[in-house]
């Protein structure tokens, strides 16, 4: 009986069930999850011949093997169900940065939107015997996966696929979508951004920068101001551990949803632009949970580590407990500032303008960006804490 024959095929050929079970057991052992294979001998889907992938599972019912291609073009199904006779096993993938770079380069040749699939395992920085350990540790540029085009980079899960090197975008990176999903990055940071990118999605990604210097996740400018979108960057079900700051936000249109950010040496989130945070946890940081210079919209139920000015707020308090802090937008802040301008007066030196609440205009804007009104009783303490923060 041909390898991969179904039970119905075997019955018609007169093979007993026991013989089929024995044959399929052999196929199961041969095509275990993660086995690396190459397609060959296909008569109709000839474009698949020579393509490489890894086994997801062997389907006993159909006698076929489910294979995930290493690289798939945009719109092409990454998973193929195929007869074992059209597969040959090959050497396992090298679990290192160079192999990932090779796959990413192949994705570039496939065009915008191609997908790279990484089997489970630890992907390391390959040692260079010609370079000293010190030079290798200092050569962060070479030890980074640089991405220059919209694509999907997918692993088997944050606990299954682990990259021991950082990810950054090449200046001028472009494309419709950059999507990173289902893997961990350990001991290195992730920096995303590019004016030519339209959207960015991070899903089920864990970034572990504990006991490492530098910010863990840096979100630089994505797209242009002419293409503003509230969901330009979506960080969904991600976990960020450690870093100087856990997440740095330097672009508009960022949403963090169902994320966990813990253990940053300073702040969990440092944001220069307005952003949305929903059903997320920011706790256990060295200074406080968030510094939001342009305000943020807190939705759902968040657990945010309070700052020095939030001592009266319970850690698990619902986001709507302080409406202005949770839902203020830049437009609302500007409108409030304009409404108060007529009440300002110059001091005796004619240098700084002091508002009706005893603060300069810049000081009021700093307070408002943190969701604190200049007339709040604790406004002075908040400002002192902010100025002591060093920013």
Q: Are residues 319 and 335 in the same domain?
A: no
Mode of pairing for the β-strands spanning 64-69 and 52-59: antiparallel
Q: What share of the chain is helix, strand, coil (3-state, %, to 5)?
A: 25, 35, 40
Q: Are residues 319 and 367 in the same domain?
A: no
Q: Are residues 250 and 308 in the same domain?
A: yes
Q: Is residue 170 a part of any domain in this protein?
A: yes
pLDDT in tens, 2-12: 444 444 444 44
Q: Are residues 55 and 198 in the same domain?
A: no
Q: Are residues 60 and 131 in the same domain?
A: no
Question: Domain of 48: which CATH number?
Answer: 2.30.30.30
Q: Which of 254, 242, 164 is nearest to 202 (CA)?
A: 254
Q: Are residues 276 and 252 in the same domain?
A: yes
Q: Is residue 1 a part of any domain in this protein?
A: no
| 12's tokens | 């018609």
* Contact present, 101 and 123 (Cβ < 8 Å): no
Q: Are residues 111 and 173 in the same domain?
A: yes
pLDDT of residue 227: 57
* Contact present, 87 and 65 (Cβ < 8 Å): yes
R_g (Cα) of the chain, nearest Å: 27
Q: Which of 179, 161, 203, 174 is nearest to 72 (CA)?
A: 179
Q: Are residues 228 and 114 in the same domain?
A: yes
pLDDT of residue 82: 92
pLDDT of residue 138: 55
Collect the ranges in the chain with pLDDT lower than 50: 1-15, 20, 311-351, 390-391
What is the rounded CA–CA span in Å between residue 137 and residue 84? 44
Domain total of the chain: 3
Q: Is residue 2 a part of any domain in this protein?
A: no
Stated as kind and residue range, the H or E segment containing 337 is helix 330-340
Q: Is residue 116 a part of any domain in this protein?
A: yes
- Please count the other Cβ atoms lying within 10 Å of the Cβ belonging to residue 114: 25
Range of 371's domain? 330-388
pLDDT of residue 278: 98
pLDDT in tens, 375-385: 777 778 777 77
Which of 300, 327, 354 terminates a domain? The answer is 327
DSSP string, 140-208: TTTTEEEEEE--EEE-S-TTTEEESSEEEEEEEEEEEEEEEEEEEEESS-EEEEETEEEEEEEEEEEEE
Q: Is residue 374 a part of any domain in this protein?
A: yes
Q: Which of 157, 79, 82 is nearest to 115 (CA)?
A: 79
Q: Are residues 59 and 180 in the same domain?
A: no
Q: Is residue 360 a part of any domain in this protein?
A: yes
pLDDT of residue 382: 78
Which of 73, 89, 105 terminates a domain? The answer is 89
* Contact present, 347 and 353 (Cβ < 8 Å): yes
Q: Is residue 254 a part of any domain in this protein?
A: yes
pLDDT of residue 386: 73
Q: Are residues 64 and 101 in the same domain?
A: no
Q: Are residues 234 and 147 in the same domain?
A: yes
């Amino acid at each position: 009986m041909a390898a991969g024959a179904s039970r119905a095929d075997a019955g018609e050929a007169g093979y007993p069930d026991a013989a089929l079970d024995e044959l399929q057991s052999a196929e199961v052992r041969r095509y275990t999850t993660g086995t690396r294979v190459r397609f060959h001998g296909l008569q109709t889907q000839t474009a698949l011949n020579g393509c490489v992938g890894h086994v997801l599972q062997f389907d006993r019912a159909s006698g076929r093997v489910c294979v995930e291609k290493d690289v798939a073009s945009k719109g092409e199904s990454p998973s193929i169900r195929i007869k074992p006779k059209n597969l040959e096993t090959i050497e396992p993938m090298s679990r290192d940065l160079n192999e990932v770079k090779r796959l990413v380069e192949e994705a570039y040749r496939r065009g915008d939107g191609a997908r790279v699939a990484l089997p489970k395992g630890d992907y390391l920085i390959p040692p260079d015997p010609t370079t000293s350990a010190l030079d290798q540790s200092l050569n962060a540029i070479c030890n980074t996966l640089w991405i220059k085009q919209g694509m999907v980079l997918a692993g088997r899960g944050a606990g299954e696929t682990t990259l021991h090197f950082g990810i950054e975008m090449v200046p001028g990176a472009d494309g419709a979508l950059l999507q990173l999903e289902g893997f961990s990055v350990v001991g290195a940071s992730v920096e995303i951004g590019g004016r030519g990118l339209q959207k960015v999605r991070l899903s089920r990604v864990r970034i572990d920068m504990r006991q490492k210097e530098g910010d863990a996740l840096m979100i630089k400018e994505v797209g242009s101001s002419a293409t503003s979108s509230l969901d330009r960057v979506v960080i969904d079900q991600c976990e960020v551990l450690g870093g100087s700051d856990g997440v740095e936000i330097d672009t508009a249109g960022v949403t963090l949803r169902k994320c966990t950010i813990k253990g940053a040496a300073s702040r969990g989130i440092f944001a220069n632009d307005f952003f949305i945070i929903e059903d997320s946890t920011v706790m256990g940081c060295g200074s406080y949970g968030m510094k939001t210079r342009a305000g943020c919209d807190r939705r759902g139920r968040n657990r945010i580590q309070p700052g020095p000015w939030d001592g009266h707020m319970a850690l698990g308090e619902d986001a709507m407990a302080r409406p202005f802090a949770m839902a203020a937008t830049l437009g609302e802040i500007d409108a409030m500032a304009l409404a108060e301008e007529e009440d300002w007066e110059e001091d005796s030196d004619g240098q700084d303008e002091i508002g009706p609440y005893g603060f300069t205009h810049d000081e009021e804007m700093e307070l408002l960006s943190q969701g604190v009104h200049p007339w709040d009783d604790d406004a002075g303490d908040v400002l002192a804490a902010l100025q002591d923060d060093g920013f």
